[in-house]
Amino acid sequence: MTELRIFPITGIPEVKPGDDLAGFVCAAIADQNEALISGDIVVITHKVVSKQEGRIASIPSEAVYRKLVEDEAARIVRRRGDLVIAQTRHGFVCANAAVDRSNVAAGTAVLLPTDPDRSAHRLRTLIERETGTTLGVVITDTFGRPWRRGLVDVAIGISGLPSLVDLKGTTDTFGNELNVTEVAAVDEIAAAADLVMGKATGIPAAVVRGLNLSGNGRIADLIRPPEEDLFR
Amino acid sequence: MTELRIFPITGIPEVKPGDDLAGFVCAAIADQNEALISGDIVVITHKVVSKQEGRIASIPSEAVYRKLVEDEAARIVRRRGDLVIAQTRHGFVCANAAVDRSNVAAGTAVLLPTDPDRSAHRLRTLIERETGTTLGVVITDTFGRPWRRGLVDVAIGISGLPSLVDLKGTTDTFGNELNVTEVAAVDEIAAAADLVMGKATGIPAAVVRGLNLSGNGRIADLIRPPEEDLFR
């Protein structure tokens, strides 16, 4: 029986390019009188990862912002008025090609990490080394959905975890074979962690404890390939 | 600081039409030596709710199944081969108009509850009465997403909770106003609970404890209206 404990990592200071983010995470957890244990999943918003990596753009005007959105987009999916739904180079489909002006200094915007899996792997390795544990790491962003109002957090970079949990070939309790049941557990982890993080409170990370999940999936495995995409 | 505990409700027996589902939930929790406390959110898959309400259809053949999908659809959104993406009468856009043949006896399918908010309200009232608590209830289903592979659980009926958590007008830690930040917390709750439920294990319910969230939202508030829908 799986039971989860999810708690926020508070007290991470404002992150600047080149900062020791892994060290910040470890120190913040210690300050809460907590300690990471093997199997824990550290969930962290891409915003602090991007800041650490210097993925910050100056946005002196709305026109510059608009231009940056077009530059970050590999493909425009829909456009209506000022709203641009675009696919990023990573393959994510989201508003404004994920160029984000919230939780960042006025006149600037945060871009996604260039290679979010690599960012997750680096962070994971550093935290594991400092704590002597084996972990998973999920880097998140906040996306809208086409037919449902409201935003949810999703995974945009992972390390030490499976991309999809494949139930194919297993049977339900009635003996029916589960044919196309691949669960996007890393997205469910991102969503769960957001419940304790919160966009207005500036808490950028959380620990999900109790999931028995490890693997070496890539976030690219979560991107639906063009030939399966009915909403291009 | 919010900290969550999420645990599954195990030992709910196979549900038949007219069964005392609320009683099953309360008994199962007691058998785990747990007790609901005010503020808990009971998350339950629609499958057991639909069974309790008799929303089960006989599916003697593939043709009958196909016909049922068309009947349950208010609108076909996309069609490719056998795959039908349809909007249900409730407004949900999902595969096969949510007509589901997993976790149900062979030759049958489970339909969504007719009025899932009302189902959630009824269940909530009965459990609250039996336990002397004030709760939230989320009824879930498992949906695919257009651009991301893998399934996630989402809310399809709610009671005692806000439909969207509106951060509009609040500011982030930089003083930037959060303009369009409505969080679909009930979907994040559904996703979080699925991590301990599991489609292959037949655990149909879970408790999410620690969220400070109450309201009287309707699931209809999560449905994007046609004029905002860029993917019709």
CB contact under 8 A, A171 and B4: no
Say if residue A147 is in the same domain as residue A188: yes
Say if residue B34 is in the same domain as residue B149: yes
Q: How many CB pairs under 8 A join A and B?
A: 233
Whether residue A232 lies inside any domain: the answer is no
Whether residue B173 lies inside any domain: the answer is yes
What tens digit of pLDDT does each residue of A172-227 get?
777 776 666 799 999 999 999 999 997 667 899 999 999 989 999 999 999 999 99
Whether residue A208 lies inside any domain: the answer is yes
What tens digit of pLDDT does each residue of A10-24 get?
999 999 999 999 999
What tens digit of pLDDT does each residue of A122-165 get?
999 999 999 999 999 999 999 999 999 999 999 999 999 999 98
B26 three-state secondary structure: helix
What is the DSSP annotation of chain A?
A: ---EEEEEE--PPPP-TT--HHHHHHHHHHHTT----TT-EEEEEHHHHHHHTT-EEE--SHHHHHHHHHHHEEEEEEEETTEEEEEETTS-EEEGGG-B-SSS-TTEEEPPPSSHHHHHHHHHHHHHHHHT---EEEEEEEE--SSB-SBEEEEEEEESS-SSEE-TT-B-TTS-B--S-EE-HHHHHHHHHHHHH-TTTT--EEEEES--------GGGGBPPGGG-S--
- CA separation for the pair B207, A3 (Å, rounded): 10
Say if residue A88 is in the same domain as residue A166: no
Find chain B residues with C-beta within 8 A of A185's C-beta: 150, 195
| Confidence check: pLDDT of A168 > 70 | no
Residue of A nearest to B2 (CA): A196
CB contact under 8 A, B3 and A4: no
How confident is the model at residue A198, as a pLDDT? 72
**A148 or A104, greater pLDDT:** A148
CB contact under 8 A, A152 and B78: no
Residue of B188, B213, B223 to mutate for A, most A C-beta atoms under 10 A? B188
H or E segment and range at residue B159: strand B152-159
CB contact under 8 A, A3 and B3: no
Find chain A residues with C-beta within 8 A of B93's C-beta: 146-147
Say if residue A183 is in the same domain as residue A145: yes
Whether residue A51 lies inside any domain: the answer is yes
Whether residue A17 lies inside any domain: the answer is yes
CB contact under 8 A, B149 and A223: yes
pLDDT-flagged residues of chain B (< 70): 168-169, 177-180, 199-200
Say if residue A162 is in the same domain as residue A206: yes
Bridging pattern class, strands B108-110 and B136-143: unpaired
In degrees and rounded to multiples of 5, residue A120 shows phi and psi of -65, -40
A21: closest CA among A51, A59, A64, A55?
A51
Say if residue A123 is in the same domain as residue A30: yes
How confident is the model at residue B154, as a pLDDT? 98
Say if residue B50 is in the same domain as residue B63: no
CB contact under 8 A, A202 and B173: yes
Bridging pattern class, strands B136-143 and B152-159: antiparallel
B185 three-state secondary structure: helix
Whether residue A139 lies inside any domain: the answer is yes
Domain CATH number, residue B43: 3.30.1330.100
Q: A208 is in which domain, residue-wise?
A: 5-55+112-224
Residue of A nearest to B162 (CA): A150
How confident is the model at residue B201, as a pLDDT? 75
Indicate the pTM of the whole model.
Answer: 0.96
What tens digit of pLDDT does each residue of A39-54 get?
999 999 999 999 999 9
Whether residue B96 lies inside any domain: the answer is yes
Helices (H), B110-211: 116-131, 185-197
Say if residue A45 is in the same domain as residue A123: yes
* Chain A nearest C-alpha distance from B198 (Å): 9
Residue of A nearest to B207 (CA): A3
Domain CATH number, residue A81: 3.90.1660.10
Find chain B residues with C-beta within 8 A of A86's C-beta: none
Say if residue B32 is in the same domain as residue B122: yes
Mean pLDDT of chain A: 93
What is the DSSP annotation of A63-120?
A: HHHHHHHHHHEEEEEEEETTEEEEEETTS-EEEGGG-B-SSS-TTEEEPPPSSHHHHH
H or E segment and range at residue B5: strand B4-9
Find chain B residues with C-beta within 8 A of A146's C-beta: 93, 146, 224, 229-231
Say if residue B106 is in the same domain as residue B118: no
What tens digit of pLDDT does each residue of A87-97 get?
999 999 999 99
* Cα distance from N-terminal residue to C-terminal residue, chain A: 40
How confident is the model at residue A18, as a pLDDT? 97
- CA separation for the pair A90, A118 (Å, rounded): 12
Nearest-by-Cβ selection for A196 from B3, B151, B230 = B3
The structural domain count of chain A equals: 2
CB contact under 8 A, A187 and B185: no
Nearest-by-Cβ selection for B230 from A104, A146, A188 = A146
Whether residue A230 lies inside any domain: the answer is no
ipTM of the complex: 0.95
- % of residues, chain A, pLDDT over 70: 96
CB contact under 8 A, A3 and B8: yes
Residue of B77, B82, B102 to mutate for A, most A C-beta atoms under 10 A? B102
Q: What b/e readout covers A17-27, taking b as 16+ CB neighbours within 10 angstroms?
A: eeeebbebbbb
Domain end residue (candidates: A95, A111, A127): A111
Say if residue A165 is in the same domain as residue A150: yes
Say if residue B33 is in the same domain as residue B146: yes
